Chains A and B, each alone.
Chain A
Amino acid sequence: MTAVTSPETSEAGAPGTRRPRARGRNRGLNWNALLWVLPALVAYAFFDLYPLTQTIRYSFYNWDGIGAATSAGFGNYVAVFTNPEQFASILHAFVLIFFFTVIPVGLGLVVAAIIRDQKAGPFATFTKTVLFLPQVLPLAAAGLIWTWIFSPNGMLNGFLRAVGLGSLAQDWLGGFHTALPAVGIIGSWVSLGFCTVLLLAGIGKIDGSLYEAVRLDGANRIQEFFAITLPGLRSEIIVASTVTTIAALSSFDVIYISTSGGPGYATTVPGLEIYRLTFVSQQVGSASALAVVLSILILAIVLPLQRLGKQS
Chain B
Amino acid sequence: MHLKSTNDIATRARRLAAIALATATAGIMAACSAPGSSAVQVAASPVSTDLGTAPITLNLVSDTPGVDAFKKMADGFKKLHPNVTINVTGQDFNTLISNAPRMLASGNVPDLVRLASFGNLVKDKLISPLDGYAKAYGWDKWPQSQFASLRSNQEGTVRGKGSLYGAGPGYGLTGVYYNKTILTKLSGTVPTTLDEFEALLKKAHGAGYTGLLTNGKDGGLTYPLQNLIMDYGGAAPVQAWNYNQPGANINTPATVKAATTLQSWFTNGYINANTNSVDFTSAPAEWQKGQSLFWTSGNWSAPAADKALPGKVGFFLFPSIKDTDTRYAMSASLLLAIPSKSTHKDAAAAFIDYVQTNAAARQITFDQLGLLPAGPEGASVPTVAPGAQADTETQFAKASGSDGLVEFMPNATASMSVSTLIPQTQLLVSGKVTPAAFAAKVQSDYTSSLGK
Contacts and interface: CB of A to CB of B under 8 A. Distances in A.
A253 interface: no
Given A64-B124, A174-B277, 20 more contacts: A9-B4, A15-B4, A45-B23, A57-B28, A57-B31, A66-B36, A66-B101, A66-B102, A67-B36, A67-B120, A67-B123, A68-B34, A171-B274, A173-B277, A174-B274, A175-B276, A176-B432, A261-B423, A262-B426, A264-B423
B241 to A, nearest CB: 18
Interface string B185-227: 0000000000000000000000000000000111000000000
Given A174-B277, A263-B426, A69 B34 contact: yes
B410 to A, nearest CB: 11
A61 interface: yes
A57 B32 contact: yes
Interface stretch (A92-100, A224-232, A280-288): A280-288
Interface in B109-135: 119-120, 123-124, 126
B55 interface: no
A218 B277 CA distance: 55
B28 A264 contact: no
Contacts of B274: 152, 171, 174
A291 to B, nearest CB: 15
B105 interface: yes
Q: A-B pairs with the 7 shortest C-beta distances?
A: A174-B277, A174-B276, A279-B98, A281-B415, A53-B27, A263-B276, A264-B427
B384 interface: no
A11 to B, nearest CB: 12
Contacts of B8: 5, 8, 26
Interface of A: 1, 5, 8-9, 12, 15, 26, 30, 33-34, 37, 41, 45, 49-50, 52-54, 56-58, 61-71, 85, 151-152, 171, 173-176, 259-265, 276-277, 279-284, 286
Interface string B415-452: 10011001110110010100000000000000001001
Interface in B15-55: 15-16, 20, 23-24, 27-28, 31-32, 34-39
Contacts of A260: 217-218, 418, 422
Contacts, number: 149
A30 B9 CA distance: 10
Nearest to A150: B277
B95 to A, nearest CB: 9
Contacts of A54: 27, 31, 35
B148 interface: no
Contact of A281 (B28, B124, B426, B449): B449
Contacts of B35: 54, 57-58, 61, 63, 69, 284
B38 A67 contact: yes
A234 to B, nearest CB: 23
A152 B126 contact: no
B8 to A, nearest CB: 7
B12 interface: yes
A171 B105 CA distance: 44
Contact of A64 (B4, B12, B101, B426): B101
Nearest to A16: B4
Residue among A37, A56, A279, A286 with most chain B CB within 10 A: A279
B414 interface: yes
Contacts of B216: 263
A54 B36 CA distance: 12
A280 B419 contact: yes
23 contacts: A9-B5, A12-B4, A15-B1, A41-B20, A49-B20, A49-B27, A53-B31, A61-B35, A64-B36, A65-B102, A66-B37, A67-B37, A67-B120, A68-B38, A174-B277, A262-B276, A262-B423, A263-B423, A276-B415, A280-B415, A280-B419, A282-B101, A283-B452
A62 B452 contact: yes
A258 to B, nearest CB: 10
Contacts of A58: 35
A174 B273 CA distance: 10
A276 B277 contact: no
Contacts of A259: 217
A33 B12 contact: yes
A33 B5 CA distance: 14
Interface residues of B, number: 53
B423 A265 contact: yes
B10 to A, nearest CB: 11
B68 to A, nearest CB: 25
Nearest to B121: A66
Contacts of B424: 264
A174 B217 contact: yes
Nearest to A288: B35
Contacts of B12: 30, 33
Contacts of B449: 281
Contacts of B38: 67-68
Contact of A56 (B15, B28, B273): B28
Contacts of A1: 9
A263 to B, nearest CB: 4
A128 B15 CA distance: 43
B124 A67 contact: yes
A283 B418 CA distance: 14
B271 to A, nearest CB: 13
A172 to B, nearest CB: 8
A284 B90 CA distance: 26
Contacts of A175: 276
Contacts of A264: 423-424, 426-427, 430, 432
A8 B6 CA distance: 12
Contacts of A265: 423, 427
Contact of A63 (B36, B275, B276): B36
B26 to A, nearest CB: 9
Nearest to A44: B20
Contacts of B32: 57
Contacts of B4: 9, 12, 15
B434 to A, nearest CB: 14
B5 to A, nearest CB: 5
Interface in B279-325: 282
A262 B419 contact: no
Interface string B119-159: 11001101000000000000000000000000000000000
A262 B423 CA distance: 6
A281 B430 contact: no
Given A34-B16, A260-B418, A61 B426 contact: no
Contacts of A9: 1, 4-5
Given A15-B1, A263-B430, A64 B120 contact: yes
Given A49-B27, A173-B277, A281-B415, A68 B36 contact: yes
B217 to A, nearest CB: 6
A262 B413 CA distance: 20
A257 to B, nearest CB: 11
B188 to A, nearest CB: 27
